[in-house]
Amino acid sequence: MENSIYNVIIIGAGASGLLCARECARGGLRTLVLEKEQTPGRKILVTGNGRCNLTNARVAPAFYQGEADLISSALTQFPYQKCRAYFEDLGILLIEEGQGRIFPQTGKSTAVVEPLKLAVSESGADILTGQTVTKIKCGKTFNITTQTGQTFQARRVVLACGSCAYPQIGATSSGYELAQKLGHTIIAPRPTLSGLVLKENFSRLSGIRAQVKLTAPGVQTQGEIIFTAYGINGPAALNASGIITRALDGGNMPLHINFLPDVPNAHAFFEERLKRFADRRPKDFFAGVLHESIANLLIDFKGLRKNKPMREQSANTLRSAFDTVAAWPATVTALRPWNEAMAAAGGVKTSEINYNTFESLCCPGLYVTGELLDVDGQSGGFNLHFAWASGFVAAQNLVKEK
């Protein structure tokens, strides 16, 4: 009977689960991974549009939402340099692109998943797929039951089940339910890294990309947005979504779009431009500064007379139009749904987790890692880095306990 008890069972073969499994097995622990899908690492395969943005050279607590002490602990124990060296040691050639994003040289996420799976196997850890865990009973050991009726025993358990973001690849709320039954508080999950639904109608701009600065209460991000039929998407919108999704519990959120993010004083810029191009019609006046469709929407929005030169426009109208370019008002009413969200805000309450080890404070011997926790990062490899880091930290402590 003793030989049938695993040292550690990890529930979930995602980023944190796979790395944790390898490190546990390398440390001499008899390790089993139970994965509900048939393919381990399925979500890793779709990250970075299938290219796997696995970390970021700029990784730091400032890029995350969640408990700062827990995030800092994870990033201190598994910083960028250690993360990069870890995957290079698996035989993966990496490259750095803009904004510090790190990808495999091949441009395919399989270049990360396959070597990681091989490393897990070579370490001696076992992976069983098609195993949905339905019950965990905590006693002298953990007794785990799956939907197939199989039972497993372990001295320690790691919940690495992921969030409910991206259900089309198998994401569910099962991890939250298991954690809650083991005594944990669940902060209501909500989509993040997802497009922003706006009250205002920007459908005329659908498909247009723009470099902007987005400002909302507690939020300021700069980068590209893409206008859609429902509102805006793109990196700047995604990076604002973590704070906005939490704030929406209090109602709609005001947002301002600055179409001249690198111009310190847009009003002064346009006043100076007016001295040179006062005889131009509004559409021509904004040519070379704003996308034609954005300029046309601005002209209609502020009531500029299309066939009159700028010098004949009302001073108040000009002032309002110039100011609007740098602070176009909008209202966020929601984020796009789970099937478009790349991550989740909310999850297991982090004050119930030991910041240094990721062990549960509610259920000794239980560890919680990755996206199941109430931690989420900006786009650019930050969420995957936290998943790797939390799995690594948990494994280090599990090995020490041996």
Please give, one letter per residue, the 3-state secondary structure of the chain.
Answer: CHHHEEEEEEECCCHHHHHHHHHHHHCCCCEEEEECCCCCCHHHHHHHHHCCCCEECCCCHHHEECCHHHHHHHHHHCCHHHHHHHHHHCCCCEEECHHHEEEECCCCCHHHHHHHHHHHHHHCCEEEECCCEEEEEECCCEEEEECCCCEEEEEEEEECCCCCCCHHHCCCCHHHHHHHHCCCCEEEEEEECCCEEECCCCHHHCCCEEEEEEEECCEEEEEEEEECCCEEECHHHHHHHHHHHHHHHHCCEEEEEECCCCCCCHHHHHHHHHHHHCCCCHHHHCCCCCCHHHHHHHHHHHCCCCCCCHHHCCHHHHHHHHHHHHCEEEEEEEECCHHHCCEEEEEECHHHECCCCCEECCCCCEEECHHHECCEECCCCHHHHHHHHHHHHHHHHHHHHC
Return the pLDDT at 101. Answer: 96
Per-block mean pLDDT, blocks of 10 residues, the chain (402 long): 81 98 98 96 92 97 96 98 98 96 97 98 97 94 95 97 91 95 97 97 96 96 97 96 94 97 95 96 97 97 96 96 97 96 96 98 97 96 98 98 80
What pLDDT, on a 0 to 100 scale, did the predictor assign at position 306? Answer: 95
User: What pLDDT was estimated at residue 1?
Assistant: 37
Report the pLDDT value the prediction gives residue 173, as an integer from 0 to 100: 94
- What pLDDT shows up at residue 3? 55
- Give the CA radius of gyration of the chain: 25
Quick one: pLDDT at residue 377? Answer: 96
Question: Domains of the chain by range and CATH?
Answer: 2-191+338-401 (3.50.50.60), 195-336 (no CATH)
